[in-house]
Amino acid sequence: MSYKVVLLPGDGIGPEVTAAAVEVLEATGVDFEWIELEAGAAVLEREGTPLPQRVINQIKEIGLALKGPITTPVGTGFRSVNVTLRQELDLYANVRPARNLPGVPSRYTGVDIVIFRENTEDLYAGVEHRVGKDAAESIKIITREASIRICEAAFSFARREGRRKVTAVHKANIMKLSDGLFLECARQVAAQYPEIEFEDVIVDAACMKLVQAPEQFDVMVMPNLYGDIVSDLCAGLVGGLGVAPGANLGVKAAVFEAVHGSAPQIAGQNLANPLALILSGAMLLGHLGEVEAAQSVRTAVARVLQEGIKTPDLGGRAGTREVGRAIAEALKK
- Which residues contact Mg ion by CB under 5 A? 261
Q: Is 158 in the site for ligand ATP (CB under 6 A)?
A: no
| 19 vs 14: CA distance, rounded Å | 8
Decide which of ligand ATP, Mg ion, none touches 268; Cβ closer than 5 to 8 Å per partner kind: none
Q: Is 234 in the site for ligand ATP (CB under 6 A)?
A: no
Binding piece for ligand ATP, criterion CB under 6 A, among 45-53, 182-190, 207-215, 255-263: 255-263
By beta-carbon proximity to ligand ATP, the closer residue of 149 and 260 is: 260
**Could you say which of 71, 167, 231, 248 contacts ligand ATP (CB under 6 A)?**
71
Task: Give 220's strand partners.
Answer: 115, 167
Report which residue's Cβ sits closest to ligand ATP.
261
Q: Is 313 in the site for ligand ATP (CB under 6 A)?
A: yes
Which of 148, 71, 86, 151 has its CA nearest to residue 119? Answer: 86
333 carries an active-site annotation? no
Beta pairing, strands 197-202 & 165-170:
parallel
Select which of 92, 171, 179, 310 is catalytic: 171
Which of 170, 181, 154, 164 has its CA nearest to residue 206? Answer: 170
By beta-carbon proximity to ligand ATP, the closer residue of 125 and 241 is: 241
| 250 vs 287: CA distance, rounded Å | 12
- Strand (E) positions, 46-196? 64-67, 91-99, 112-118, 128-130, 136-138, 165-170
Q: Which residues contact 57 (CB under 8 A, 6 or more apart)?
A: none
Question: How far is CA 175 from its chain centroid?
Answer: 28
204 carries an active-site annotation? yes
By beta-carbon proximity to Mg ion, the closer residue of 40 and 214 is: 40
Q: Is 199 in the site for ligand ATP (CB under 6 A)?
A: no
90 carries an active-site annotation? no
Report which residue's Cβ sits closest to Mg ion.
261
Q: Is 183 in the site for ligand ATP (CB under 6 A)?
A: no
By beta-carbon proximity to ligand ATP, the closer residue of 185 and 263 is: 263
Q: Contact 307/319 with Cβ under 8 angstroms?
A: no
Centre a 10 Å sphere on the Cβ of residue 266 and count the other Cβ atoms it contains.
18
Q: Is 242 in the site for ligand ATP (CB under 6 A)?
A: yes
- Given the rule CB under 6 A, which residues bind ligand ATP? 13, 69, 71, 242, 260-266, 272-273, 276, 313
Please identify every residue annotated as catalytic. Answer: 124, 171, 204, 228
